[in-house]
Chain A
Amino acid sequence: MSESGNAFAGRLSAPVTQRNSIRSAIFPALALLPSCAGQRCGCQSLTRQRCAVNRRLSFSKDYYAGALMVVIGLSAAYAGMSYDIGTLTSMGAGFFPVAVGVLLALVGILIATMAKDLPEPDPHPADAHSRLPDLRGAVCIIAGTLAFIFIGKYGGLLPATFAIVFISALGDRSNTLFRAAALSIVMCAIALVVFSWALKLQLAPFAWG
C-alpha cells in the first residue's frame, strides 16, 4: 500500500516536480555526459566554456525556431482569412485555421522571447536529431525517393524499387557499389513476389512511358 501511495503522490506532483525529480534522479548519470550540445558544436571538451558556446548556439536556434513558427502560423492565418470565417454560431471554414494560426504565431513569439533566458542544458545527450543530417546520406535518400516517384510513374515498380534502394544505399559511406546493387536486387525480388504477386499492388512491374 505504501508503495502505491508513493506512486500516487508521485503522480500528483509529477507535472511540477517531474523534471526536477527526474533530474535529481538521473542527473549524475545523464546531465553531465558529453551532451548533444557538445556534439552540435563539434567540441569535445567538458569545460564550462563549452556550455557557454552551446548556450549561445541554442539561443540563436530558438530564435529561428520561434520565427519559423511565427511564419507558419501567420501564413496559415492569412490563408484562413481567404476562406469564410463566419460567426461563432455558424462557423465558416476559415475560423479554425485563423484561430490555430494566430495561436501558433503567439507560441512562436513566446519561444523566441524565452530563448533570451537561460535554457536548461538539454537533458538528452547524444542527440543526433538536433544536428544537420550528413550531406551525402541526406542527398542520396532524397534523390532515391524522387527517383522512385518519377521512375515509378514512367518505368514501373521494379526499376523504381531498384532506384530507391540503390541510390539510398549509396548514401551510407560504408556501402560499396556492389553491396548496394546486391541489396537492390534482393529488394526487387521481394517487390515482385510480395507486392506485385501476393498483394497485387496497383503499380505494374514494368511500364513504358
Chain B
Amino acid sequence: MIEQSLHDLFYGFSVALQGSNLMWSFFGVLVGNMVGVLPGMGALSAISILLPLTYVMHPVPAILMLAGIFYGSQYGGAIGAILLNLPSHPPHAITCLDGYPMAKAGRGGAALGITMLSSFFAASTGIVLMIFASPLLTAMAFKFGPAEIFSVMLLGLLAGSTMSRGSALKGIAMTLFGLLCGMAGTDVNTGTFRFTFGLTDMNDGLELVAIAMGLFGVADFLCNVNRMQISSKSLDVRFKDMRPTRDELKASFWPMTRGTAVGALFGAMPGTGPTITTFVAYALERKLSKRPQAFGTGVIAGVAAPEASSHSKTQVDFIPTMSLGIPGDPVMALILGALIIQGITPGPQLISEHPDIFWGLIASFWIGNILLVLLNVPMIGVWVKLLRLPYRYLFPSAMFFIAVGVFSTQNSLFEVWQVLAFGLIGTVFNYFGFSVAPILLGFVLGPMIEENFRRALLISHGNMSIFVDRPISCGFLIASLLLVVMVTLSAQRNRWRANKMKHEPTGGSRAEMPRTSSD
C-alpha cells in the first residue's frame, strides 16, 4: 500500500517536473501570490480571470496552474492581512486579529515569517495525508451508484450552505438559487430549453466564469468603490525582519501543529468552508492558552494556528473534490468546473483514469509550496510594494480583464451581459445579507445532482425508498438530517444567548474586519 503510494508519487513528480507543467505551475503560484497581495482581489477573481486561458491548454498544466493560483493567493493574502488588516481571502480575517496588532507593534516581519513557516508545514502535512488517504477513499467510492452520489452531494450542498458565513437559511436559499442557475439552458435529457427567456444565446446555459466574475469581481467592486480605505503605515518589512525569535518559534510550534490537525479534519468533510476552519483553530488555541485574554493583541499563536489550519485544509480539500467530485468550497467548485470543461469527470475513477492529473497535482503542490516560500521570503519587499497599489487603479484594470476574459470564453459579448447581470444580482443579495458563495456550489453541482436523482429514480422505477434502502446513501441522508437538526439547535441557542446578552453592555479591544464575499 505505502509502496504503491510512493511509487505513484514518484510518477507524479516526473509529471510535475516536466518543463511546461513546471512553468505553468510556477506561473500559477506567481499570479496567485500577486493577486492575493492586491487588496480586494482573491483567489476566486484570479481563477475566474485565468479560467478562459485553460480552455486551450492541456488538462494537466491547466489544473496545476489553477491549483497554484489557489494556494499561491493564500500565501499572498496573508501579507495583506497582517500588514494592512485587509483580508482578501476570507480565512485571513482571523489572521488579522493578531497579525495586524503584531505589525503595528513592529513585529509584522516575524508574524509573516511564522505564517510562511506554518503554511509550509501544514501544506506538507496535508499533502502527505492526501497521498495516503486518497486511494482508500477511492476504493470506497467505487461502491457509489446514482443514489449514493445524490445523497453525498446533498450532504455537501447542505454543509456548504449551512456552514459558511451568516444565517444557515440564507445559505440554503443561495444554494437553491445556484441550482436554478445551473438549470438554465438546454435540458440534456429532453432537449427542452429552460429559463432561457427566449434568448438563443441562453441555450447553452449560463457561463461558470461569468457567474464567478460577476458575483466575486463586479459585485465586490460595486460594494468597495470609494469605500476601501487603506492606510499604509505598518508597511516597512524587509527580509531580515522576517526571522522570528527563538521564543516566538517555540510559542508557535504547538499552535501550528494543532492548527494543521484542525484543518486536516475539516478538509476531509466535504462542504465545510475554509473560514469556519480558521475560526475553530483560533478558538481552540484561545481555549487552550494560559492567557486567553491576550488574544487579539498580537499573540503569535493567533497567527500560526489559523494560517496552518487554512493551508492544511486547502490541501486535504482536494481529496473529496477529486475523488468524489464534491467541492469543499467555491474555489474548489471552480477547479471542478475547469476539470469538467476539459472533459474530465472528477470521481472515483479519476485516479485510475487520469493518474497524470491526480499524482501530478499532488507533486506540484509540494513544488509549488517550495516555490512560494522562495518567492515570499527573500522577495517580501517586492510584495509589500505591491500592497501600495491604489484601489483607484486596480478596479478599472480588473474590470477590463474581467470583460475581456469572459468574452474569450465563448467569443461572444453576451457573456459580458451575464457578468453585469450577476454583478448586480450579487450586489442585491449582498445587500440583503446573503453570502453569495453557495450559488457557485449549487451551480456546479446542480446538473450533476439532477442527473443522478433522475437516474436513481429511473433505476428504482420511481420508488423514493432507493435513497434509504442503500446503506451508504442512507448514511449520508442521516448525516444531512443531523446537520440540519444541529444547525437549527445552534441557531436557537444563539438567539437565546443574544437575547440575554443584549442587556449587558460589553467592552473589548477593537479590530476591523473587512469582508470579502468569497466565503
Residue numbers of A with Cβ under 8 A of B are 3-4, 6-8, 10-11, 14-34, 48, 51, 58, 61-62, 64-65, 68-69, 72-73, 76, 79-80, 83-84, 87-94, 96-97, 100-101, 103-104, 107-108, 110-111, 114, 117-122, 124-134, 136-138, 141-142, 144-146, 148-149, 152-153, 157, 160-161, 164-166, 168-169, 171-175, 179-180, 183-184, 187, 191, 195, 199, 201-203
Q: Within residues 152 to 183 of chain B, which ones have a CB less than 8 A from any CB in chain A? A: 162-163, 165-167, 169-170, 172-173, 176-177, 179-180, 183
Candidates B195, B221, B395; contact of A76 at CB < 8 Å: B195
- Compute how far the CA of A29 lies from the CA of B296 in the bound complex, rounded to whole angstroms: 6
- Compute how far the CA of A41 lies from the CA of B187 in the bound complex, rounded to whole angstroms: 45
Residue B233 at the chain A interface, CB threshold 8 Å: no
- Are B400's CB and A21's CB within 8 A? no
For the complex formed, measure the closest distance between the CB of B80 and the CB atoms of chain A, giving whole angstroms: 15
Residue B427 at the chain A interface, CB threshold 8 Å: yes
- Are A138's CB and B176's CB within 8 A? no
Known: A100-B180, A169-B396, A187-B397. A93 touches B514 (CB 8 A): no
Q: Which residue of A lies closest to B404 (CB)?
A: A195
Sorted from nearest, which 9 A-B pairs have the closest CB atoms? A137-B225, A88-B462, A25-B283, A28-B508, A89-B462, A93-B192, A65-B432, A29-B296, A172-B392
The winner among A33, A65, A87 for most chain B CB atoms within 10 A is: A65
For the complex formed, measure the closest distance between the CB of B466 and the CB atoms of chain A, giving whole angstroms: 11
Q: A29-B97, A88-B462, A128-B227 are in contact. List 4 more A-B contacts (CB 8 A).
A: A3-B257, A34-B510, A104-B173, A114-B169
- Are A10's CB and B163's CB within 8 A? no
- Are A100's CB and B404's CB within 8 A? no
For the complex formed, measure the closest distance between the CB of A101 and the CB atoms of chain B, giving whole angstroms: 7
Candidates A6, A73, A136, A179; contact of B176 at CB < 8 Å: A73
Residue B481 at the chain A interface, CB threshold 8 Å: no
For the complex formed, measure the closest distance between the CB of B217 and the CB atoms of chain A, giving whole angstroms: 10
Residue B290 at the chain A interface, CB threshold 8 Å: no
- Compute how far the CA of A169 lies from the CA of B396 in the bound complex, rounded to whole angstroms: 5
- Are B280's CB and A100's CB within 8 A? no
CB neighbours of B293 from chain A (8 A): 28
CB neighbours of B464 from chain A (8 A): 88
Residue B262 at the chain A interface, CB threshold 8 Å: yes
Q: Within residues 184 to 222 of chain B, which ones have a CB less than 8 A from any CB in chain A? A: 187, 189-190, 192, 194-195, 218, 221-222
Candidates A17, A121, A125, A171; contact of B225 at CB < 8 Å: A171
- Are B408's CB and A165's CB within 8 A? no
- Are B396's CB and A7's CB within 8 A? no
Candidates A4, A61, A131, A180; contact of B223 at CB < 8 Å: A131
- Are B180's CB and A72's CB within 8 A? yes
- Compute how far the CA of A111 lies from the CA of B457 in the bound complex, rounded to whole angstroms: 31
CB neighbours of A18 from chain B (8 A): 163, 276, 279-280, 490
- Are A26's CB and B462's CB within 8 A? no
Q: Within residues 400 to 454 of chain B, which ones have a CB less than 8 A from any CB in chain A? A: 400, 403-404, 407-408, 411, 413, 416-417, 419-420, 423-424, 427-428, 430-434, 450, 453-454
- Are B511's CB and A30's CB within 8 A? yes
- Are A126's CB and B262's CB within 8 A? no
Q: Which residue of B lies closest to A103 (CB)?
A: B176
- Are A16's CB and B486's CB within 8 A? yes
For the complex formed, measure the closest distance between the CB of B278 and the CB atoms of chain A, giving whole angstroms: 10
Residue numbers of B with Cβ under 8 A of A are 53, 93-94, 97, 162-163, 165-167, 169-170, 172-173, 176-177, 179-180, 183, 187, 189-190, 192, 194-195, 218, 221-228, 254, 257-258, 261-262, 265-266, 269, 276, 279-280, 282-284, 286-288, 293, 295-296, 390-393, 395-397, 399-400, 403-404, 407-408, 411, 413, 416-417, 419-420, 423-424, 427-428, 430-434, 450, 453-454, 457-458, 461-464, 483, 486-487, 489-491, 493-495, 497-499, 502, 505-515, 517
- Are A84's CB and B190's CB within 8 A? yes
Q: Which residue of A lies closest to B266 (CB)?
A: A11
Known: A29-B511, A129-B223, A172-B395. A15 touches B163 (CB 8 A): yes
Question: Can you name 16 A-B pairs with beta carbons within 8 Å?
Answer: A4-B258, A8-B265, A17-B490, A25-B283, A25-B286, A32-B507, A65-B432, A92-B190, A101-B180, A107-B173, A126-B513, A129-B515, A160-B403, A171-B396, A187-B400, A201-B407
Candidates B284, B434, B505; contact of A10 at CB < 8 Å: B284
CB neighbours of A179 from chain B (8 A): 392-393
CB neighbours of A148 from chain B (8 A): 400, 403, 416
